[in-house]
Structure 1
Amino acid sequence: MMGMVRHLGRAAVLASLLSGTAARAADNITVFDWSGYEDPAFHPAYTAKHGTEPDFSFFGDEEEAFQKLRSGFKADLAHPCSQSVNKWREAGLLEPLDTSKLTGWNDILPRIKDMKGLMTSDDGKAWFLPFEWGNSVLTYRTDTVKPEEIQSLKAFADPKFKDRVSIGDSVDDAYALASLVIGLKDWTKMTDAQFAEASAFLREVHKNVRLYWTDYTEVNQAMASGEVDLAWAWNDTATVLQKDGIPVEMKRDTDEGMSTWVCGYVRLKGAEGDEAKEYDFLNAISDPAVSAYLVNDWGYGHANAKGMAAMDPQVLTAKGYADVDKFVDKTLFQSPMPTELHQKMIAEFEKIKAGY
């Protein structure tokens, strides 16, 4: 794990979530986030302006966050990803954004803006400010796995990798993998037959799974120790492990491609913090100056087009971001999906993990 990321232990995260309220300084804002994103390097302009950090509370996945918020948990901002935005909005959890207060709103990468239903709703209201984007991608140990063995994502179900596979304990990442394998690039159009086919594939993968990782440090540690050879992981796994000298690579050019997700920030209904500070934070994470850190140290792309354009072209090429259109050409975007379909996936994935 990156030394600069102040990772909060899972026990502490759980204690924070079970408390029912987020710790809050008298006039501070609270951000409900993934552990690790409290890193001050993601929002330096906020710290410089206010001389303090926001308060953070953490969730392990978006369904957990959703249920916590529905039960009355209070925070000011939260960090969901593209596929959950509609669900959170329809549940009445969000406040619209005032885009006139967002300095980077017009600088968001065009391909992200084009994702239907992501940033705005049919009534023209804005709900979601993209921050980072990246991939769920086949990641492997180069000392134990040959490239020709993993040309297809079907390798995750290959018996030769029994007990050597890890995928995230995330319904979205799991069904993104399965959708790609069955040839579906737009999961919003998934039919009942395709859902059954995708679920059948995940049941085959389950036979090989050694670890359903819930925290990116878990899969990083499993790959670093050699416990796992093949993972469906995010960009930061290979980025971090390579810096530690671990023989790990991402294989973006499989026959089926990879999945691309976009995450960002929303304003929560019932927020009690200072609204001006909320927008200061949102503008801080959108600052073009954050792009280099996000790409270099985490392996993710920044949603701010100006920040990405200002980076060293060699660095962008090395990270795979030199040509954004080419990058996303062979991918399944984890775009907002119908809530009914998402709930169906959640229920089925729980059965799969339980061995049914």
Structure 2
Amino acid sequence: MTAKTHFLSRTGLAALVALGLSAGGAGAADLVISNWDGYMAPDIAESFKKATGLEIEVVNHATNEEIMGKLMASGGKGYDLVFVSSPFAEVLNHQGLLETVDEAAVPNLANLYPEAAGLAYDPGNAFSVPYAWGTTGLCYRSDLVEGSPDSWMALLKSPDDLKGKTTMLATDRWLMAAGLLGLGYSVNESDPAKINEAKDLLIEAKKDLLAYDDTTFYSKLVSGEASLVHAWDGWCNYGIADNKDIKFVVPKEGSDLWVDTMVVMKAAEHKENAMKFLNFMLDAENHAWAASNILYKVPNKAAMESLDPELLASYPNMAMTPAELTGFELLRDLGEAQKGYSRAVSEIKAAN
């Protein structure tokens, strides 16, 4: 997910550093990983060393774009294993920067749902391993919103009682997706005319927004500053944790399927160790940590089946099935069309 700055307060950089995970720089590590902060267990270095005897160094990146810039500039050198969202993994593979996943070295691939091994950008998990997946929709205060909003138009053409009480994600792919889906188009639309139509709709919608917000929208719901927000499912759960009147719904026009992946760089100095880490993370207990602690669904059947049923009852979107998730439209690499999205979003943000 492009702009996600994963939930820092749930683990904390200080805890990571205290356990020997670095925020950057070279060292004598047996494996160098780049990941979003807070996206793995805080004792990951300790537990991986206990299991394998290997030392790891973790370098944090804030966004996909940040780590992509470094990887493209260096040809992937300096990192062994990187966490990126699927469209970016697709780009890296097209550039010849990714190592083929060694199935023999990663037997825990068998823990993945069949659907997770058949994703269109990488059938068979040839160059990437999915770590978390989910969708995007409407997160709202059921005690402040009349009825149950079921359309992207609740954001794009807000009724009077929601004007000034809504937020939207500002990142290119998700902002444009809301406009495109509201018009009945694909989240991977490449037709310039349709992209322009969505841009115009989003410029008009901007007039009624409280804010564009990728990081604190759920807290605005909790405080009551906002009544309805554009949200990733897992982040809506952070709001639900504080206020049970907060609900999540996927609009009737549909939504995207986002996937965060682990990839091994072809230029990696420690490829064998990287494969061991992939296998370690796909262990049911290790992978279940992500679902239990960051409240994202993971594509690991054994991990999801191990979760406390009360967790799924408290956060209903956690119980979405693989069939439901893969019924949404998978985000793909847009190629040259990405420039059109970036240009449209720049115009939307510049509009009065």
Q: Same fold (TM over 0.5)?
A: yes
| Corresponding residue of 2:178 | 177
- Equivalent in 254, 258, 263 of residue 255 of structure 2: 258
Kindly provide the amino acid, as one letter, of the partner of residue 55 in structure 1: E
Tell me: CA distance 1:345–1:243, structure 2 relative to 1, closer, same or farther (3 Å).
same
- Written as runs of structure 1 = structure 2, the 5 A alignment for 1:126-165 is 126-148=126-148, 150-159=149-158, 160=160, 161-165=162-166
Equivalent residues of 2:167, 2:230 under 8 A apart:
yes
| Corresponding residue of 1:288 | 284
The runs of 5 or more residues in structure 2 that have no matched partner are 1-5, 18-22
Kindly provide the amino acid, as one letter, of the partner of residue 218 in structure 2: N
Distance 2:323 2:27 in 1: 45
| Corresponding residue of 1:277 | 273
| Corresponding residue of 1:203 | 203
Shift of 1:129: 0.6
- Written as runs of structure 1 = structure 2, the 5 A alignment for 1:290-329 is 290-311=286-307, 315-316=311-312, 319-320=316-317, 322=319, 324=321, 327-328=324-325
| Corresponding residue of 1:34 | 36
Shift of 1:138: 0.8
Superposition RMSD in Å: 3.3
| Corresponding residue of 1:7 | 12
| Corresponding residue of 1:351 | 347
Shift of 1:133: 0.7
What is the identity percentage for the equivalent residue pairs of Structure 1 and Structure 2?
A: 22
Equivalent residues of 1:40, 1:47 under 8 A apart:
no
Shift of 1:156: 0.9
Distance 1:147 1:41 in 2: 43
Classify the secondary structure of the residue corresponding to 2:261: strand
Equivalent residues of 1:224, 1:246 under 8 A apart:
no
Kindly provide the amino acid, as one letter, of the partner of residue 200 in structure 1: D
Classify the secondary structure of the residue corresponding to 2:153: helix
| TM-score where L is the length of structure 1 | 0.80
| TM-score where L is the length of structure 2 | 0.81
Kindly provide the amino acid, as one letter, of the partner of residue 155 in structure 2: F
Tell me: CA distance 1:23–1:71, structure 2 relative to 1, closer, same or farther (3 Å).
same
Tell me: CA distance 1:118–1:268, structure 2 relative to 1, closer, same or farther (3 Å).
same
Distance 1:56 1:354 in 2: 37
**Any idea what the Cα deviations from partners look like across 1:87-131, whole Å, max 9, x if unmatched?**
2222343233222211222332222322212356xxxx8211101
**Any idea what the Cα deviations from partners look like across 1:289-309, whole Å, max 9, x if unmatched?**
135433333332211222223
Distance 2:208 2:53 in 1: 49
Answer yes or no: is 1:62 the counterpart of 2:64: yes
Equivalent residues of 2:41, 2:290 under 8 A apart:
no
Distance 1:119 1:46 in 2: 28
Distance 2:326 2:279 in 1: 29
Distance 1:169 1:58 in 2: 22
Equivalent residues of 1:258, 1:330 under 8 A apart:
no
Shift of 1:8: 4.1
Tell me: CA distance 1:110–1:24, structure 2 relative to 1, closer, same or farther (3 Å).
same
- Equivalent in 242, 245, 250 of residue 244 of structure 1: 242
Equivalent residues of 2:7, 2:38 under 8 A apart:
no
Shift of 1:53: 6.8
The runs of 5 or more residues in structure 1 that have no matched partner are 13-20
Shift of 1:34: 1.7
| Corresponding residue of 2:333 | 337
Shift of 1:190: 4.2
Shift of 1:261: 0.9
| Corresponding residue of 1:87 | 91
Equivalent residues of 2:181, 2:187 under 8 A apart:
no
Shift of 1:321: 5.2
Distance 1:2 1:58 in 2: 13
Tell me: CA distance 1:103–1:329, structure 2 relative to 1, closer, same or farther (3 Å).
closer
| Corresponding residue of 2:3 | none
| Corresponding residue of 1:111 | 115
Shift of 1:226: 2.8
**Any idea what the Cα deviations from partners look like across 1:268-304, whole Å, max 9, x if unmatched?**
24334x3333222212221111354333333322112
